[in-house]
Amino acid sequence: MLTIDGFKQALRHAQSEIEANKDTLTDLDRAIGDGDHGINMSRGFEAVVAVLDDDYASLGDLSRKVGMTLMSKVGGAAGPLYGSAFVKAAPKFGDATEADFKLVKEALLEASTAIKARGKSEVGQKTMVDVWEPFLSDLSEADDFDAKLDRLVGETEDMIATKGRASYFGENSRGTVDPGALSSSIVLKAIMKEVE
């Protein structure tokens, strides 16, 4: 079950993991982008943690607030993507104060759909979609969530980017893990840990 406190704990955990991986995210984005992903995600999740002391009536309210905070605080391409993910997951959580595995999966599927729509991207383009969509498409409660996420992040290494700034690197984008895929795995691991 994901409770409101559990959701808050997941976001705090995500923030500390992003902080621990900030330099890695920066290095990856420097290799195939503009090098701002670590700083942007760090700033965004610090802002998220700052709103967690407030009271929320439902998982939907919390998810909406998180999304709007990320939208305004995370720069680059990632802000609108992560922001819309949490904003669009909010109606699926609705007034619920706790969510079972099925509801969490449904809400995350809404988030994944929002990311694809906002980024106009599909699987195979070396973006965060390559983590979100395959992670959720056949997700079962019995899965080893962390192992599945690590595998999907690793699979972006051999892909050639055809979307966003990384696509300018063409063939040279091969050999680098997508930074958005890595940050997505961090966020999803933190959430799934609280659902287990």
Which residues are CB-neighbours of 161 under 8 A, at least 6 positions away? 32, 125, 126, 127, 167, 169, 170, 173, 178
Which residue minimizes CB distance to Mg ion?
33
Residue whose CB is less far from Mg ion, 59 or 115 = 115
Q: Tell the smallest beta-carbon distance from residue 162 to Mg ion (Å).
A: 16
What are the distances in angstroms from CA 69 to CA 47, 125, 151? Answer: 7, 27, 29
Q: Tell the smallest beta-carbon distance from residue 129 to Mg ion (Å).
A: 16
d(CA 104, CA 92) in angstroms, rounded, equals 9
Residue whose CB is less far from Mg ion, 25 or 108 = 25
Per the structure block, which two tokens stand in for 3? Answer: 């409770």
Binding site for Mg ion (CB under 5 A): 29, 33-34, 36-37, 76
Q: Tell the smallest beta-carbon distance from residue 179 to Mg ion (Å).
A: 7
Side-chain-side CA neighbours of 119 within 13 Å: the count stands at 30
Nearest Cα neighbor of 85 from 56, 127, 50 is 127
Q: Tell the smallest beta-carbon distance from residue 2 to Mg ion (Å).
A: 30
Residue whose CB is less far from Mg ion, 76 or 83 = 76
Residue whose CB is less far from Mg ion, 128 or 139 = 128
